[in-house]
A and B are shown apart, each in its own frame.
Chain A
Amino acid sequence: MTGLYVVVAAAVLAIAFGVCRHVTDGRVRGAGSRSPRLEAADLGTGLGTDATFVQFSSAVCAPCRATHRVLSKISAEDEGVVHVDVDAEARLDLVERYGITRTPTVLLLDGTGVVRHRIVGAARAPEVLEALEEVAARRAA
């Protein structure tokens, strides 16, 4: 009987975790007021004048590629927006500094390099655009 209980427990755990992740994955979250800045020197490339997406990816991550497509498309359509895809494994220093726990994680920086938003899990285009607008509006204000 023990085995049957373990199977039922595993199924309940998998469904609860899966549904929870399905709801929360890719949501844009505010980064809080004391979020650290990211400098162009950290990335080895220039920041966007309006905003920069810093995407942390790894080779063993399939949703990273979907996220890459979403963010490349958005940054290609707006010349003030830059998309940087960082190999998390090669930049464990940044991973530690920004508390990245899984890939893909995207930091959305404003024009001065301050982290304004964080997206964990596969990014959703409409929410990313909304966050981008918010960052631009804050800059204009």
Chain B
Amino acid sequence: MPPVQPTPIDPRGPRFGAAVTSVVLALVLILGPGVPALVLLVIQTVAFALGSLIGIGAQPYGIVFRRLVRPRLGAPRDLEDPRPPRFAQTVGLVFALAGLVGLIWAPVLFYVAVGFALVAALLNAMFDFCLGCEVYLLSRRVAGHPLGSSGSGADA
């Protein structure tokens, strides 16, 4: 494993954040294309962007968790590497941006992108699902090959 270990975090923080994200995204979908949904989705996109681009410590829902929720809970059983939840924020950011584009240009894209972001957030909140474990290696495998080199025609 890599020798550099970033400061570990309370794993309940990202899970709390996923629950808040689920509620926000569900509201966005139920409101449907319009100004209220746009405002909520922009807020969610900014939250993803802070968690992804700056770090999990800057994720607003994580800050709420540390300030308001964690003081009321006991100590966590163990601490967690911040890189997996940060990767999940990055994936969330991509879907939220697609949702914003869809909100303006194409309602179908809006429903599909925000719908998938909601699936990921619900899985994270309910099952502690690790999005990075599922997607990261596949994305590396694709990135490690020029497009088409692993296709069916390559070994002919």
A92 touches B138 (CB 8 A): no
Task: Specify which chain B residues have a CB less than 8 angstroms from the CB of A60 in the assembled complex.
Answer: 83-84, 86-87, 132-133, 136
- Total A residues in contact with B, Cβ cutoff 8 Å: 38
Count how many pairs of residues, one from A and one from B, have CB atoms less than 8 Å apart in the complex: 109
Which of B29, B80, B140 is within 8 Å of A89, CB to CB? Answer: B140
The smallest C-beta distance from B133 to any residue of chain A, in angstroms, reads: 4
CA distance A18 to B131 in the complex (A): 12
A62 sits at the interface (CB 8 A): yes
A65 proximal to B (CB < 8 A): yes
Pick from A18, A58, A59: contact of B126, CB under 8 Å = A18
Main SS class of interface, B: helix
Among B118, B126, B136, the residue within 8 A (CB) of A15 is B126
Interface pair B137/A14, CB less than 8 Å apart: no
CB of A106 closer than 8 Å to a CB of B: no
- Bound CA–CA A57/B29 (angstroms): 35
B26 interface residue per 8 A CB criterion:
yes
Contacts A60-B83, A104-B133 given; indicate if A3 touches B32 (C-beta within 8 A): yes
Partner of A10, one of B107, B118, B137, B138: B118
Chain B residues within 8 Å of chain A by Cβ, number: 37
Contact of A102 among B86, B123, B134 (CB under 8 A): B134
Interface string of A1-24 (1 = CB under 8 A from B): 011101101110111011001100
Per-position contact with B for A29-46: 1 when CB-CB < 8 Å, else 0?
Answer: 000000000000000000
Cα A10 to Cα B27 in complex, Å, equals 13
A64 at the binding interface (Cβ < 8 Å) = yes
Mark B5-23 against chain A: 1 for CB-CB distance below 8 A, else 0: 0000001000000000000
A102 to chain B, nearest CB (A): 5
CB<8 Å pairs between A and B, sample of 14: A2-B32, A3-B29, A6-B115, A21-B129, A58-B137, A59-B81, A59-B83, A60-B83, A60-B133, A62-B11, A62-B80, A62-B81, A68-B1, A87-B2
Q: Which residues of A contact B (CB under 8 A)?
A: 2-4, 6-7, 9-11, 13-15, 17-18, 21-22, 56-65, 68, 85, 87-89, 92, 95-96, 100-104
Using a CB–CB cutoff of 8 Å, the interface residues on chain B facing chain A are 1-2, 11, 26, 28-32, 80-81, 83-84, 86-87, 107, 111, 114-116, 118-119, 122-123, 126-127, 129-130, 132-134, 136-138, 140-141, 144
